[in-house]
C-alpha cells in the first residue's frame, strides 16, 4: 500500500515537472515574441517624432505679411533657431521666453535679429536653464513699435544626455610619467560644438589655481593641449611648481557664452629629491560631472524632406536619406552583378559536374567544405579582405601621391589653370599629366568662359585695356594642373575607397550564401528529369541548360533575393571599405566615387550626440526594414507561384 502511495506521489511529481517545463517553454517563447515587439516599437517610437508627426510649430498668425510656416527648432547645441519666418523687410524681431510655472512673470528677451531685405530671417537665441518655457516672438518696426506678437509655444529643456566634453581615453587611466614622458604627454579629448573653446583649469590640493590652458575644438570635434604647454605650466626652472594632486578640469564655452561642466582628471605630482619625479595621472570617477544642454523638441522635418534630402552636420531638421537610398541601390546592383553569375555557376559545378576521378572528387569535397566554412567567416574579415584586395589592390599599383594624378586611369581630363591679368580664370589644355606646372612664355591656346582664344603674354599691365587684360598674362606666369570633372565611367587602379570596391566586398560576403541556396534549389530538381534528358542524348551542359536550370530558377531566384537583402542590411564591410561617409550629395558621380548606404547612416546617426539624429536613425531603420520586407515578399511570391505551377 505504501509503495503504491509513493508511486502515486512520484507520478504526480513527474506530471508536475512536465507541466512546469511546458510553462517555462511558453514563457521563453513569449520572451522571444516580446523582444521582437519591443524592438519594433522602440524603432517606431524613436521615429515617431522624427518624420511622421513633425512638430513644425506655427509661431505667428497669418497676417501682416507673416507666413504661417514659421517654425521654432533647435540644433543640439545651446542655441535656438527660428527658421524661415517672414515679416516686413528690415524690421526688427525679438524672441522672448518665460518659465511656464511663473505665470505672472514678464518674459525675458533671449535673442533678436533684423529681418533681411526679403523680410525673411533667422534668430539665434541664448540658452536657457533647465525647465519648461513659454517662448514667443515679436516683430517691431524701425521705430521700435510692436507690430505683431506670435502665439507662444512650449519648449522643454532637459540636460541629461551624457555625451559631450570628454577627455581622450588615451589620456585617462592610471599612468606614471617620468619627466621625459611628461614632455610627450598630450592631453586631448572631444567636445560636441565645433565653435566652442575648451579651457583646462588646473588647481592644486588647496584650491589654488595653477593656471589655465586653452584649446579650440577642431572640425572633427576633437581638442588637444599642446604637449609642451602642460610641461611649461607645471615645471619652472626644472622645479615642479606645485606638489601633490593637481586637478585638471575641462570647461567648454560655446559662442553664446554657456559654460559646460566637464570631466576632471587628477594629476598626481610627487616631488622626489627636490626634482620633478613621476607624474601619476588617474581618472577620478567622483569628479565626472557632465552636463550638456539637450532639447526635447524633435527636428521639425517632414517625410518629404527626409526622403529627398541628404545629411547635414548639426542639422537633423533638414537631413534625409536620399543619398543613402541611392548608395544602397548601387551597392546592391554591383553586388548582384558580381555574385549572381559566379554563385549560380559554382552551384551548377558543385551539383551537376561531380567528377569521377578520385583526386578531383577530393578537390570537389574540399571546395564544398570551403564554401560551408566561408559562410561562417565574420563579415568584418571580408571587409579587411576587400580593403586589401579592392581598395589598395595588394599595393600592386603604386598609389598616387598627393597633388599628383593617378597612374592607371581613364575617363578624366587634365588642364592647367591660370589667372589672367583681368582676373579671369582660364584653362590651358594639358598634354603630359605628370608635369604638374607649366610656365607661360609665349602665346598659347586657352579656354575661358567665352570659348577658345589665344592667351597673350605681356611684360607689364601698364596701358592695357580691360579687354586686353582679360586675355593676357605676365611673361613667365606659372599655371598648375587641375583635374577636370571625371566622366561617369572614370576608372582607375587601384579602386580606392569607392562604391565599386564596397559592392564587390559585399559580393564576397553573400557569395557563399547564394551558392548554398542555389545548390539546394538545383538539388531539388528530380533526377528523373536529368536521366530523361541524358537518355535523349543531351550532354551534361545541355541537360543543365535546358532541363535543370529552368526548373530550378524559382528556387535560385528566391535564394538570391534573400541573399541580396542580407547584403543591403550589411554595414561592417561597407564601413571598412568606405570609412563611414554619410554625406554624398547627389550620389556617386563616377565608378570610383564613394557613396553612403542605409545601414551606414543608421549607424552614424544612432551614434550622433544629437537626439534629433536618433529619431532620424529610427526613421531610416523603418525605411530599411520596409525595403527588406519588399524584397522578402517578392521572394515569397516567386516561391508561391512556382509551387502552384508544379502542382
Partner 1 sequence: MSSLPLDSDLPDSLKNRKFKSTQRGKFYENLVVAGLGFCALISIGTTIGIIYVLISESFSFFFDKNISLAEYFSPGDWEFGRLKLEDGESDIQIRHSIWPLLSGTLRITFVAMVIAMPLGLISAVYLSEYAPRRVRAILKPILEILAGIPTVVLGYFALRFISPYLLVPLGGFDSFNATSAGIAVGILCIPLISSLAEDSLQAVPKGLREAAFGLGGTRFDVTVKVVIPAAISGIVSAFLLAFARAVGETMVVALAAGTNPVMTADLRRPSQTMTGYIVETFQSEGVVPDTLPYSSLYAVAFTLFLLTFSITLFGQYIRKRYQESYE
Q: Give the nearest distance from C-beta 294 to partner 1 in angstroms.
A: 13
Residues 179-218 that bind partner 1 (CB under 8 A): 181, 184, 186
> Which residues between 34 and 53 bind partner 1 (CB under 8 A)?
35-36, 38-39, 42-43, 46
Please report whether residue 346 would count as binding partner 1 according to CB under 8 A: yes
Report helix angle 499-523 to 358-374, nearest 10: 120
Q: Which stretch binds partner 1 (CB under 8 A): 110-118, 276-284, 298-306, 375-383?
A: 375-383
Q: Tell me how crowded residue 531 is: count the other CB atoms within 10 A of its CB.
A: 11
**CB 313 to partner 1: min, Å:** 16
Q: At what angle do helices 549-569 and 499-523 cross, to 10 degrees?
A: 140
- Per residue, the 3-state secondary structure of 324-380, as one string, reads HHHHHHHHHHHHHHHHHHHHHHHHHHHHHCCCCCHHHHHHHHHHHHHHHHHCCCCHH
Asked whether position 630 contacts partner 1 by CB under 8 A, the answer is: no
Comparison of 85 and 605: residue with beta carbon closer to partner 1: 605
Residue from the set 255, 280, 374, 458 that interacts with partner 1 by CB under 8 A: 374
Nearest of 55, 14, 40 to residue 295 by alpha carbon: 55
Nearest to 582 by CA among 368, 327, 268, 344: 327
Nearer to partner 1, 424 or 566 (CB): 566
**Is residue 132 close enough to count as binding partner 1 by CB under 8 A?**
no
> Could you say whether residue 287 binds partner 1 (CB under 8 A)?
no
Task: Considering only residues 81 through 120, tell me which ones interact with partner 1, judged by CB under 8 A.
Answer: none
- Give first-to-last CA distance, the chain, whole Å: 62
Could you identify the residue written with the cell 533526377? 527
Query: Which of positions 307-336 make contact with partner 1 (CB under 8 A)?
Result: none
Binding to partner 1, residues 568-627 (CB under 8 A): 568-572, 575-576, 579-580, 599, 602-603, 606-607, 614, 617-618, 621, 624-625
Kindly state the smallest distance separating residue 5's Cβ from partner 1, in Å: 18
Number of H helices, E strands in the chain: 15, 30
318 vs 380, which CB is nearer to partner 1? 380
Cα–chain center distance at 423: 40
Q: Answer yes or no whether residue 371 interacts with partner 1 by CB under 8 A.
A: yes
* Cα–Cα distances in angstroms (integers) from residue 275 to residues 177, 229, 234, 243, in the given order: 14, 19, 12, 11
Contact segment (CB under 8 A) with partner 1 among 141-149, 309-317, 475-483, 565-573 equals 565-573
Nearest-angstrom CA–CA distance, 163 and 291: 8
Q: By CB under 8 A, is residue 265 in contact with partner 1?
A: no
Name which of 469 and 540 has its Cβ closer to partner 1: 540
Of 123 and 511, which has the nearer Cβ to partner 1? Answer: 511
Task: Tell me whether residue 68 or residue 282 sits nearer to partner 1 (CB atom).
Answer: 282
Largest CA distance in the chain: 132
User: Among 105, 333, 377, 425, which residue sits at the site for partner 1 (rule: CB under 8 A)?
Assistant: 377
* DSSP SS3 for 75: strand
Nearest distance in Å: CB 371, partner 1: 5
Q: Binding mask 220-259 vs partner 1 (x if CB under 8 A, - otherwise)?
A: -------x--------------------------------
Residue with smaller CB distance to partner 1, 81 or 614: 614
Please tell me whether residue 447 adopts helix, strand or coil conformation.
strand
β 451-458/472-474 pair status: parallel
User: Does residue 162 touch partner 1 according to CB under 8 A?
Assistant: yes
Q: Which residues contact 632 (CB under 8 A, 6 or more apart)?
A: 561, 562, 565
Interaction between residue 381 and partner 1 (CB under 8 A): yes
Map residue 277 onto helix, strand or coil: strand
Residue numbers 455-514 binding partner 1 by CB under 8 A = 508, 511-512
User: Residues 367, 482, 529, 642: which binds partner 1 (CB under 8 A)?
Assistant: 367
Least distance (Å) between residue 552 CB and partner 1: 15
Contact 256, 78 (CB under 8 A): yes
Return the residue of 477, 632, 634, 642 that touches partner 1, per CB under 8 A: 632
Interface with partner 1 includes 353 (CB under 8 A)? yes
**Are 203 and 216 contacting, i.e. CB atoms less than 8 angstroms apart?**
no
357 binds partner 1 (CB under 8 A): no
Other beta carbons within 10 Å of 421: 19
Least spacing, CB of residue 56 vs partner 1, in Å: 24
Beta carbon nearer to partner 1, 349 or 487: 349
Binding partner 1 (rule: CB under 8 A), the pick from 9, 109, 232, 370 is 370
Cβ distance to partner 1 smaller for residue 378 or 429? 378
**Nearest approach, Cβ of 386 to partner 1 (angstroms)?**
10
In whole angstroms, the minimum distance from the beta carbon of 617 to partner 1 comes to 6
CA distance 137 to 151: 8
Q: Confirm or reject binding of residue 33 to partner 1 (CB under 8 A).
A: yes
Min. distance of Cβ 152 from partner 1 in angstroms? 31
What are the C-alpha distances in Å from 323 to residues 218, 238, 586, 587, 596? 26, 57, 6, 5, 6
397 near partner 1 (CB under 8 A): no
Residue 404, H or E segment = none
Least distance in Å: CB of 330 to partner 1? 18
Nearer to partner 1, 267 or 575 (CB): 575
The rounded distance, in Å, linking the Cα atoms of 353 and 374 is: 21
Angle at 131 between CA 127 and CA 136, to 5 degrees: 65
Residue of 127, 277, 329, 385 interacting with partner 1 (CB under 8 A): 385
Task: Check: CB of residue 233 under 8 Å from CB of residue 210.
Answer: yes
| Residue 207 burial class via C-beta count within 10 angstroms: exposed 0-12, middle 13-18, buried 19 and up | exposed
Give the nearest distance from C-beta 556 to partner 1 in angstroms: 14
25 forms part of the interface with partner 1 (CB under 8 A): yes
Strand partners, 98: 134
By CB under 8 A, name the one of 53, 289, 361, 378 that touches partner 1.
378
Element (H, E) at 41: helix 2-47
- Cα 232 to Cα 621: distance, rounded to the nearest angstrom: 51
Total residue length of the chain: 647
Amino acid at each position: 500500500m505504501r509503495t503504491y502511495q509513493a508511486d502515486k506521489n512520484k507520478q504526480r511529481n513527474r506530471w508536475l515537472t512536465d507541466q512546469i517545463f511546458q510553462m517555462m517553454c511558453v514563457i521563453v517563447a513569449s520572451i522571444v515574441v516580446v523582444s521582437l515587439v519591443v524592438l519594433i516599437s522602440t524603432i517606431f517610437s524613436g521615429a515617431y517624432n522624427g518624420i511622421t508627426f513633425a512638430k513644425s510649430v506655427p509661431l505667428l498668425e497669418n497676417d501682416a505679411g507673416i507666413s504661417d510656416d514659421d517654425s521654432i527648432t533647435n540644433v543640439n547645441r545651446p542655441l535656438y533657431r527660428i527658421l524661415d519666418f517672414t515679416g516686413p523687410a528690415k524690421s526688427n524681431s525679438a524672441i522672448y521666453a518665460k518659465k511656464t510655472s511663473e505665470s505672472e512673470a514678464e518674459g525675458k528677451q533671449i535673442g533678436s535679429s533684423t529681418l533681411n531685405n526679403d523680410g525673411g530671417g533667422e534668430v539665434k537665441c541664448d540658452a536657457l536653464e533647465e525647465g519648461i518655457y513659454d517662448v514667443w516672438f515679436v516683430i517691431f518696426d524701425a521705430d521700435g513699435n510692436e507690430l505683431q506678437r506670435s502665439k507662444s509655444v512650449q519648449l522643454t529643456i532637459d540636460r541629461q544626455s551624457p555625451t559631450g566634453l570628454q577627455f581622450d581615453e588615451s589620456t585617462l587611466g592610471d599612468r606614471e610619467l617620468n619627466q621625459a614622458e611628461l614632455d610627450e604627454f598630450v592631453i586631448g579629448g572631444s567636445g560636441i560644438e565645433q565653435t566652442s573653446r575648451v579651457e583646462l583649469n588646473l588647481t592644486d590640493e588647496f584650491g589654488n589655481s595653477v593656471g589655465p590652458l586653452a584649446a579650440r575644438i577642431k572640425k572633427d570635434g576633437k581638442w588637444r593641449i599642446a604637449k609642451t604647454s602642460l610641461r611649461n605650466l607645471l615645471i619652472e626652472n626644472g622645479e615642479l611648481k606645485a606638489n601633490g594632486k593637481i586637478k585638471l578640469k575641462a570647461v567648454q564655452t560655446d559662442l553664446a557664452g554657456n559654460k559646460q561642466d566637464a570631466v576632471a582628471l587628477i594629476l598626481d605630482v610627487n616631488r622626489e629629491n627636490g626634482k620633478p619625479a613621476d607624474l601619476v595621472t588617474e581618472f577620478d570617477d567622483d569628479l565626472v560631472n557632465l552636463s550638456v544642454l539637450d532639447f526635447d523638441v524633435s527636428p521639425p522635418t517632414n517625410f518629404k524632406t527626409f526622403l529627398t534630402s541628404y545629411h547635414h552636420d548639426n542639422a537633423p531638421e533638414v537631413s534625409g536619406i536620399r543619398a543613402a537610398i541611392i548608395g544602397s541601390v548601387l551597392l546592391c546592383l554591383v553586388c548582384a552583378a558580381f555574385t549572381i553569375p559566379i554563385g549560380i555557376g559554382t552551384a551548377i559545378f558543385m551539383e551537376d559536374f561531380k567528377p569521377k576521378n578520385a583526386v578531383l572528387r577530393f578537390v570537389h569535397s574540399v571546395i564544398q567544405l570551403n564554401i560551408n566554412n566561408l559562410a561562417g567567416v565574420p563579415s568584418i574579415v571580408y571587409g579587411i579582405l576587400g580593403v586589401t584586395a579592392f581598395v589598395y589592390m595588394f599595393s600592386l599599383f603604386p598609389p598616387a601621391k598627393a597633388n599628383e594624378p593617378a597612374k592607371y586611369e581613364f575617363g578624366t581630363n587634365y588642364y592647367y589653370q591660370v589667372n589672367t591679368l583681368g582676373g579671369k580664370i582660364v584653362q590651358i589644355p594639358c598634354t603630359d599629366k605628370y608635369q604638374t606646372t607649366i610656365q607661360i612664355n609665349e602665346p598659347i591656346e586657352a579656354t575661358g568662359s567665352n570659348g577658345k582664344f589665344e592667351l597673350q603674354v605681356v611684360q607689364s599691365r601698364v596701358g592695357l585695356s580691360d579687354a586686353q587684360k582679360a586675355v593676357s598674362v605676365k611673361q613667365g606666369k606659372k599655371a598648375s594642373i587641375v583635374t577636370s570633372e571625371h566622366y561617369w565611367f572614370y576608372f582607375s587602379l587601384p579602386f580606392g575607397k569607392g562604391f565599386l570596391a564596397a559592392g564587390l566586398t559585399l559580393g564576397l560576403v553573400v557569395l557563399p550564401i547564394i551558392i548554398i541556396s542555389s545548390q539546394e534549389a538545383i538539388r531539388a530538381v528530380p533526377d528523373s528529369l536529368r536521366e530523361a534528358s541524358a537518355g535523349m542524348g543531351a550532354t551534361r551542359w545541355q541537360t543543365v541548360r535546358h532541363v535543370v536550370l529552368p526548373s530550378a530558377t524559382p528556387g535560385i531566384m528566391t535564394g538570391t533575393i534573400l541573399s541580396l537583402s542580407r547584403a543591403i542590411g550589411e554595414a561592417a564591410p561597407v564601413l571598412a571599405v568606405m570609412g563611414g561617409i554619410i554625406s554624398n550629395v547627389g550620389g556617386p558621380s563616377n565608378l570610383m566615387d564613394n557613396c553612403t548606404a542605409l545601414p551606414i547612416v543608421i549607424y552614424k546617426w544612432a551614434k550622433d550626440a544629437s537626439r534629433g539624429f536618433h529619431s532620424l536613425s529610427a526613421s531610416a531603420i523603418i525605411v530599411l526594414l520596409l525595403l527588406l520586407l519588399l524584397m522578402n515578399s517578392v521572394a515569397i511570391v516567386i516561391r508561391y507561384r512556382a509551387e502552384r505551377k508544379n502542382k
